[in-house]
Amino acid sequence: MSDGANISVTTFHEDIEHLEWQTISNIVGKVTAGEPLPRDSIEGAFRVLVREPKDLGTLFANPKCLITANQPSEEFLDVARQAQHAWLRSLRQILGNRGCRHAMREASPLRRQLAFTGVLICGGKHFRNDSWPTADELDPDPEVKFGRLTRVEVLPGGRWRCLCTCGREKVIRREHLRSGRTKSCGCLRAELDAKLRLRRARRAR
């Protein structure tokens, strides 16, 4: 994944009475189709916005800010998370912890995105707050190598399906690969053990 994704952050003065519409209006400038938004229906307006999310590119929007990037990246996700947490902290100061939790619990999933957790579009795909992608899932380059292993598929839960040079596939946790703890499907250890046994056998003669 390439770094330096030309991230732009624009902040707004939030209107606490119209949080959902403020998020939508923060995104409207990115919509090129020119289709009017149905002000009588927040759900309808939201669906107009995300019906063709590929036109929106990569962005995160909430009532306080709009963050855009020319491509998804780990840096972009970090900035979006920081903006999300900053907005939720502001709401807690206004509504109190209990009031904020109650308002989020009572809101529909769609309004929860618009007013609280924010709207995330990455590479033309809309993500709910409970399914934000990891940086690895956004990586456009599938060929990542660690020792004898080559990543062939990103799986949920921080796991990768890898192909070893010996031809065997194995599912391995991402952190084990990145830390260097795992470098093969197990064949490297087997080879080292076989060499050690051979060395010991020669010494015993």
Instruction: List, for residues 55-84, the tens digit of each pLDDT value.
Output: 888 999 999 999 999 888 888 999 999 999
pLDDT tens per residue across span 84-131: 999 999 999 988 999 999 999 999 989 999 999 999 999 888 998 888
> Could you tell me how many residues make up the chain?
205
4: pLDDT confidence band, cut at 50, 70 and 90?
A: very low
- pLDDT of 18 reads 84
Q: Where are the alpha helices (DSSP H) in the chain?
A: 19-28, 42-50, 74-106, 109-112, 174-178, 187-203
Residue 51 vs residue 121, higher pLDDT = 121
The average pLDDT across 28-33 equals 54
Instruction: Answer left, alpha or beta for residue 180, where phi above 0 means left and psi between -120 and 50 means alpha.
Output: left
146: pLDDT confidence band, cut at 50, 70 and 90?
A: confident
32: pLDDT confidence band, cut at 50, 70 and 90?
A: very low
Q: Within the chain, what is the greatest distance between any pair of CA atoms?
A: 90
